[in-house]
Amino acid sequence: MEALAGSRIYFPCIKPPTMKHNFRRQQRVMITRASIAVEQKNPESKVALVRIGTRGRMPFQIKLEINVIPRNTNCSRDLIDSPLALAQAYETRSKLIAAHEELAEEGAIEIVIIKTTGDKILTQPLADIGGKGLFTKEIDEALLNNDIDIAVHSMKDVPTYLPDKIVLPCNLEREDVRDAFISTTATSLADLPAGSVVGTASLRRKSQLLHRYPSLEVLDNFRGNVQTRLKKLNEGLVQATLLALAGLKRLNMTENVSSVLSIDDMLPAVAQGAIGIACLNHDEKMANYLASLNHEETRLAVACERAFLETLDGSCRTPIAGYACRDENGDCFFRGLVASTDGKKVIETSRRGSYAFDDMVAMGRDAGKELLSKAGPGFFDPR
């Protein structure tokens, strides 16, 4: 394991964009495209072989099956409070059907919508209402109560500890880890005039943004699903916002992106762009299903990053970023940082070593210990 010095380091895992993409400046972002709808499950359908739990809010407390609607269909997504979570559940279902013939039959897979604390309370910052477990606690309870068979999570929402009897053996192949800049008036952060307001609920984004652009202002309780945030942007509440590019890709909404931030400009959240799937530790049938979906390179990268986060005891209350990937030589390259919430102090480190589970977990932990030592007492205290 090799520690690397320096404040700005080129990431071999992210190729420089060719810029031949559809990301463009727009006067108004699009928020009406519908790609997901829900319908009540036929009561005469046979018992599902796999019940997939995911977060969301629905107008009725019912179990639902998710159906994809073609992109150009005139169908509203207003019924769904977490379309991204549902898109990830549907992606999981598609992969299960592709890998297992018996799951292709109608009714073999059921998707169960579960209202989480994080989906219920939208008026307060996440840091004020309990941190990351807000989006997983109720889903974990459903799994433990045998109301669902597997649980689909955005890995960046999952606490570094798991409840007893629950394991997370599967990560789907990771999407693009970078953050997207979206604005109706500018093509990049550098184009925003001094005093412009950027909306974000992420302390990680806020601290890095203010570190590089101290003349900007941040509205830091900018919460809601992607559609809600874009609506607030259109209404002029803020001049710009930052969102995970992975989520926009999964929702087929990249036409809203003004530009993509480089890893150097905005180090991503731990496990950003990764989907994790959990099951009970004694459920061999589900474990076998999930083994067929697991993307090992992603699983190892996420393990490295989460070891870093766990060492720092990180949550939504602390600005922490970390990213591990395979470099051109097949080794693991990891970079992490911690920051003060006002962005005035950012501490970074990096590691390079073998792309193997034990070595990568050790790298993440070692990097976390280094930053704890450099930060010193009180660094993570609320300001």
What distances in angstroms separate CA 204 from CA 17, 207, 314, 338, one per listed residue? 24, 5, 11, 8
Could you tell me the strand order of the sheet in which 179-183 lies?
217-219, 197-199, 240-244, 179-183, 259-260
For residues 37 and 69, is the Cβ–Cβ distance under 8 A? yes
For residues 275 and 153, is the Cβ–Cβ distance under 8 A? yes
Classified as helix, coil or strand, 238 is: coil
DSSP structure string for 303-346: HHHHHHHHHHT--TTS-EEEEEEE-TTS-EEEEEEEE-TTSS-E
Total residues belonging to the chain: 383
**Half-sphere exposure of residue 366, counting CA atoms within 13 Å on the CB side?**
16
Catalytic residue among 81, 119, 157, 331: 157
Active site residue 157: yes
Q: Which residue's entry shows tokens 């799994």?
A: 143
Phi and psi at 357, nearest 5°, equal -55, -55
Q: Report the catalytic residues.
A: 157
